[in-house]
Amino acid sequence: MAEAKNRNPITDLAGIIGGVFMVIAVIVLLAAQDNVEVLIPIAWAFVVLGIVLGTFQYKLLQKK
Query: Is pLDDT above 60 for 2?
Result: no
pTM over 0.75: no
Domain edges within the chain: 8-63
DSSP letters, 1-64, are -HHHHT--HHHHHHHHHHHHHHHHHHHHHHH-TT-GGGHHHHHHHHHHHHHHHHHHHHHHHHH-
Q: pLDDT digit string (tens) for 15-53?
A: 888 888 888 888 888 887 777 787 888 788 888 888 888
